[in-house]
Chains A and B, each alone.
Chain A
Amino acid sequence: MPAVVSLSNVHKSFGALQVLKGVSFDVAAGEVVAVIGASGSGKSTALRCINALETIDSGEIVVCGHKVHDPELDRRALRRDVGIVFQSYNLFPHLTVAQNIMLAPTCVKDMGKAEARRLAEEVLAKVGLAEKADNYPEQLSGGQQQRVAIARSLAMQPKLMLFDEVTSALDPQLTGEVLRVMEDLARGGMSMILVTHEMAFARKVASKVIFMHQGKVWETGPGAMLANPQTKELAEFLSNDL
């Protein structure tokens, strides 16, 4: 399988704080990669670097053929191929659910309004919210808003989806409904990188788990590695998580 994402010896600092210290990993097409680790281990920063929301200091990142480390990077072309869902949903509060979803296809892909509306209804049905198209975000629960955020990204038909702790702000019941949508996406063959604290979900859905510790990839393996950690840091992290 060709790699859709390739990080090679990536370094990133914020001032004197070195957050990524030579991070390298690949994600193959159709692969679901769960990035786990304690707060401050650099996992969210790595995800933001993949989408060029942060500029790296050194190393190479190639995403769907886009050289993200290149200063001449066409960011808009990259973002057409990569969808990202944030912890805080970041829906546009002045737009209805359908308008949130239609915005990028009409603005970026010059899609007609009727076609974009059909697409919005299609992706909303996929996340189980077809009846909420004309509601405003604030009229929805946190879980529903997060599913709309996923639908909004899906409307751009990305080749890769990034999920940045998307269930951290949700209670267990709402977490379940979001994870089900992500599981459906994974089963559909979508390439995904998810930064998550949901260990059970990572074990069940991820084809690869990456444990980050102190800005480095500390341990990598299939979901089963969570039951049998090879390093004491991962074992400690997992025991704290329980």
Chain B
Amino acid sequence: MSLTPVHIEFIATGALWTVGLSAIAFVGGSILGFALALARISPVPFVRRCAGTYIQIVQGTPLLVTLFLFYFGLAVVGFDSLPAIVAAGLGLVIYSSAFLAEIWRGCLESVPKTQWEAAECLALTRWQRMVRVILPQAMRIATAPTVGFLVQIVKNTSLASVVGFVELAQAGKLVNNTIFEPFTVFIVVAAFYFVICYPLSAWSRSLERKLNAGRR
């Protein structure tokens, strides 16, 4: 039995779930990660320490274990067994928030201190300094590593199969189990991953050009 359009359609459906799960991880992770990045550079030491501890714990835990904890662990402590999409989504949001927070903290801190000072000397509030002066410059620096991490998220969604979630890699595995043509099947799976990830890289380059307006 060889690869048929039905198999391709099944794999394509898995690819859609991969895109969906990546979007959940990225949007949720971005919101939480941005708050954490701000907390990491907060003038209040307690806030900085809390955010730092969260990030260290999450970064020190393998994503696979995080996914298991959400899928099986929450059921043990009284929550009914979570649907795979919710467990995988939560796990990936937590995972990406910690990494995005550290990427963005680095970008915020790489804006020269003199820019903060210049904005401060113009009597801008801390919030105005952040929004009008620091963030636009940090965003330019953050574009490439953020998109690089987004591509990592897309590929790491393949781990969601361990909690029974049928995304792109798992769909490929299931098709291979029926037709036993691993090379062909996984070439198709790889092509789908490329189709998802390549536009992200292209978008990153165009975004960098746009944000780089002042340096042309």
The answer to whether B128 touches A107, judged by C-beta atoms less than 8 angstroms apart, is: yes
A25-33, A76-84, A123-131, A210-218 - the one binding chain B: A76-84
The answer to whether A93 touches B118, judged by C-beta atoms less than 8 angstroms apart, is: no
Give B109-152 interface residues, CB cut-off 8 Å to A: 114-115, 117-125, 128, 132-133, 136-137, 140
Minimum Cβ distance to chain A for residue B209 (Å): 13
Tell whether A53 pairs with B117 under 8 Å between CB atoms, given A94-B137, A94-B140, A107-B132. Answer: yes
Give A129-146 interface residues, CB cut-off 8 Å to B: 136-138
Candidate in B115, B117, B121, B211 with the most chain A CB atoms within 10 angstroms: B121
- A75 contacts across to B, CB distance below 8 A: 120
The answer to whether B115 touches A76, judged by C-beta atoms less than 8 angstroms apart, is: no
- B124 contacts across to A, CB distance below 8 A: 103-104, 107-108
A77 to B136, CA, bound (A): 26
- B119 contacts across to A, CB distance below 8 A: 92
The answer to whether B137 touches A93, judged by C-beta atoms less than 8 angstroms apart, is: yes
The answer to whether B120 touches A79, judged by C-beta atoms less than 8 angstroms apart, is: yes
Minimum Cβ distance to chain B for residue A230 (Å): 35
A79 to B136, CA, bound (A): 23
Task: Convert A83-95 into 0s and 1s, putting 1 for each residue whose CB lies closer than 8 angstroms to a CB of B.
Answer: 1101010111111
Q: Any chain B CB within 8 A of the CB of A44?
A: no
Minimum Cβ distance to chain A for residue B141 (Å): 11
Residue of B nearest to A92 (CB): B133
A84 to B213, CA, bound (A): 27
A136 to B128, CA, bound (A): 21
The answer to whether A103 touches B132, judged by C-beta atoms less than 8 angstroms apart, is: yes
Q: Any chain B CB within 8 A of the CB of A11?
A: no
Interface size on A, residues (CB 8 A): 29
Give A152-172 interface residues, CB cut-off 8 Å to B: 152-153, 156
Where chain A touches its partner, the secondary structure class is mixed
A138 to B125, CA, bound (A): 26
The answer to whether A94 touches B122, judged by C-beta atoms less than 8 angstroms apart, is: no
The answer to whether B214 touches A104, judged by C-beta atoms less than 8 angstroms apart, is: no
Tell whether A80 pairs with B115 under 8 Å between CB atoms, given A94-B136, A136-B214. Answer: no
The answer to whether B215 touches A93, judged by C-beta atoms less than 8 angstroms apart, is: yes
Tell whether A156 pairs with B214 under 8 Å between CB atoms, given A53-B117, A93-B137. Answer: no
Minimum Cβ distance to chain A for residue B78 (Å): 50
Minimum Cβ distance to chain A for residue B191 (Å): 38
Give A9-60 interface residues, CB cut-off 8 Å to B: 51, 53
The answer to whether A94 touches B214, judged by C-beta atoms less than 8 angstroms apart, is: yes
- A82 contacts across to B, CB distance below 8 A: 121
The answer to whether B114 touches A136, judged by C-beta atoms less than 8 angstroms apart, is: no
The answer to whether B114 touches A79, judged by C-beta atoms less than 8 angstroms apart, is: no
Residue of A nearest to B114 (CB): A90
Q: What 5 pairs between A and B have smallest CB-CB spacing?
A: A90-B118, A104-B122, A79-B123, A136-B214, A94-B136
Can you give 20 A-B contacts (C-beta < 8 A)? A53-B121, A76-B123, A76-B125, A79-B122, A79-B123, A80-B123, A82-B121, A90-B115, A92-B118, A92-B119, A92-B137, A93-B137, A93-B215, A94-B211, A94-B214, A95-B214, A107-B122, A107-B124, A138-B214, A156-B123
- In the complex, given contacts A94-B211, A107-B124, what are 5 additional A-B residue pairs having Cβ atoms less than 8 angstroms apart? A83-B121, A104-B123, A104-B124, A136-B214, A156-B123
